[in-house]
Structure formats: structure tokens, C-alpha cells
Amino acid sequence: MDRERLIDEILMLLPVLARGLGRPDPSEAGKLARRGIPVDPTLSPGHVQVLIALGRGPHSIGRLAEAVGVSPPAASQLVDRLAEHGMVERRPDPTDRRVVQVDYVPGMQDIARRMMEGRSRKLREALGRMTDDEARALLKGLKLLVESFEGAHGEEKHGSHR
């Protein structure tokens, strides 16, 4: 796997890891807001993953669902919320009118690109100090961590305890 693909995969895992670790409580969000740091508690890690995926270009709902690891109806709900926030829009696919593409609204692409470039640069710098084997091991470990969080969420929903 090349470095750019590895960086993309790690970036996609980070919002899921954040969900697994839990959101900041409302008092923490308030402290951030008072410092001038915008906090939108209505955007979930799944919303962030959709925005990351769209950084690679327009996607159909099916492709977004696959990229984020959710069902197409769940991806559609994520897109609905982002559209309500004025961040993305649905457009007919110019090559196949039956397909709807999701993309950033005009102007949002540049904002999102700058945000992702900053995150990618930091990740690239950190991974630059690792060998390819170490970077792949990190990705494998992050995926295992995500799986364990997802397993714990399933147990919580079903009332299971360890």
C-alpha cells in the first residue's frame, strides 16, 4: 500500500476513533466555544468521514456508504444533515442521470481541501518518521481499535457486560 493511500485510510479511521473515545461533554464544548474555537455538536464522526471522502471528489450515496462503512440509507441521512448545514449538495451525474452525486457546495471545496491538507500534512510528517512496516502496523492497530470500539458499542446496545 502506498503512503498516500495509507494516510487516507488513517484519516478515515480518526473520526471513528473519536466516536469510540466519546464526545466532549457540553461543558468542555462550551469552554472551547468561549476560546473562539467553533464547535458543532450536531456533526458526528460519520459526518466528518463523509466530508473527508468528498475531498477525493464527488461520490454517489453508494460509494459514500462504502467509504464510511455504513448502509446507503445511513449515508443518505448523513448527507441530508450536511446539506441542511449548507456544506454539501446532491447533483445529477452528468454521465448517468439515474445516479445522484454528492459534492461540496460551491466554495466549501476550498475550505475542506485546506482543512484536509493541514491534517494530511501533520499525519504525513508523523508517518515520515516511521518505516513502511511501522506505518502499516499503525494502520492495522487503529483498525483493530476501531473494531473493538464497535464491538463494545454492540454489547452496550444489547445489554451485555464483560
For residue range 61-114, what is the model confidence (pLDDT) as tens digits?
A: 999 999 888 999 999 999 999 998 888 999 998 888 888 999 999 888 887 777
Task: Classify each residue of 128-160 as buried b or exposed e, where b means 16 or more C-beta atoms within 10 Å of its C-beta.
Answer: eeeeeeebeeebeebeeebeebeeeeeeeeeee
Mean pLDDT (whole number) for 154-162: 46
Q: Tell me how many domains the chain contains.
A: 1
> Band of the pLDDT at 158, cuts 50, 70, 90?
very low
**Residue 155: beta bridge partners?**
none
Specify the pLDDT at position 162: 33
% of residues, the chain, pLDDT over 70: 77
pLDDT category at 6 given cuts 50, 70, 90 is confident
CATH code of the domain covering residue 54: 1.10.10.10
Give the structural domain span for 14: 3-158
Please report, rounded to a whole number, the percentage of residues in the chain having pLDDT higher than 90. Answer: 24
- pLDDT the model gives residue 22: 55
Please give the model's pTM, rounded to 2 decimal places: 0.65
Average pLDDT over residues 143-149: 83
Mean pLDDT of 21-42: 55
160 confidence band (pLDDT: 50, 70, 90): very low
Q: What is the pLDDT of residue 17?
A: 67
Distance of CA 104 to the CA centre of its chain: 14
Assess whether pLDDT exceeds 70 at residue 117. Answer: yes
φ, ψ (nearest 5 deg) of residue 39: -130, 120
pLDDT of 152 reads: 64
